Amino acid sequence: MTSIHPTAVVSDKASIGSEVKIGPYCVVDEHVVLGDRCELISHVVIAGHTTVGSNNRFFPFSSIGHAPQDLKFHGEPSELIIGDQNTIRESVTINPGTEGGGMLTRIGNKNLLMAYCHVAHDCLLENNIVMANNATLAGHVKVDDGAIIGGMSAIHQFLRIGRHSMIGGMSGVVKDIPPYCLTAGGYRPSLAGLNLVGLRRHGFNHERIKVLKEIYRILLQKKGNIETRIDEAMAIAGEDEDARHLIEFVRTSERGMTVHCRD
C-alpha cells in the first residue's frame, strides 16, 4: 500500500506506483513518475519531467529534476530518467537535460550518490557507480559501469569516466579517465596504475589483469606517437574484450586522456 504523509505535497497529476512511501514535507510535481516501492524519506523535492524506476530511496533534502544550472536553458521540457535500486543521499542535486545535450539526463541502476553530490544537465550514468560525498559532475559527463568517484572531486564538462575506474578524493579531473584505472587525487591528477582492488572485486582473474597491465603500459605510460602505440596495443590485445575496450576508449577520446605520471 502506498503511504503519503499528510504534510507532503503530491500533485494529483503525478504517477505514483504501488507500495511507495512519501514522507513528511516532500514535494512531488505533476509530471513526475515514481515507480513501485520507492521511498522519499522526508523533505525530498522531485520536479520537472522526471521518471523514476522502482526501489529507489531518496534521503532528506535531495533536489531532483529542477531546472538545469545552464544559462542556455529556456524552459524546454527536457527529461531526467532514473533507473532502479538507486540510493540518493542527503542534499544530492540532479538536473534534467538541455536542448544542447539531447534533452536528457539519465541515471542507471544500483548507483550510490552520497551526500551533497551534484549531477548536472545531460549527464549519463550507467550502473553500480559510487559517487562519494561532495563529488560533482559538470554537464555532459558520461560515467560508465562500476566507476568510483572520490569525495570532493570535480569532473569537468564533456568528460568520460571509464568502467571500473576509481578516482581519488579531492581530484580536479580535466581529461577523460580511462577504464580499469586508478587515479591519484589532487588538482589535475594522474593515473597510478590499474584499479587492481576494484578489478579483483569484479571477478577479473590474473590473466585478464596481466593483459590490461601491458595495454596500460603501452597506451598510458609509453612515449611516442599515439597511433603507433594503438597499433602495438591492438596486436597484443587480440580478441581480449577488456583490452580492446580500453584501446577503443583511448582511441576515441575527444577531450584528451589522463595518463600515468612520468617520474
Catalytic residue among 43, 49, 118, 121: 121
- Inter-residue long-range contacts of 21-24, CB under 8 Å, 24+ positions, other chains counted: none
Distance, in Å, from the CA atom of 181 to the CA atom of 195, rounded to the nearest integer, reads 5
Is 150 an annotated catalytic residue? no
Catalytic residue among 139, 146, 162, 198: 139
Contacts of 188 (CB under 8 A, 6+ apart): 172, 174
Distance, in Å, from the CA atom of 5 to the CA atom of 221, rounded to the nearest integer, reads 57
Catalytic residue among 29, 48, 108, 122: 122
Query: Within the chain, what is the greatest distance between any pair of CA atoms?
Result: 66
Contacts of 93 (CB under 8 A, 6+ apart): 62, 63, 64, 66, 117, 118, 119
Is 122 an annotated catalytic residue? yes
Is 121 an annotated catalytic residue? yes
8 Å CB contact between 177 and 258: yes
CA 58-183-146 angle, 5° bins: 40
So which residues are the catalytic ones?
A: 121-122, 139
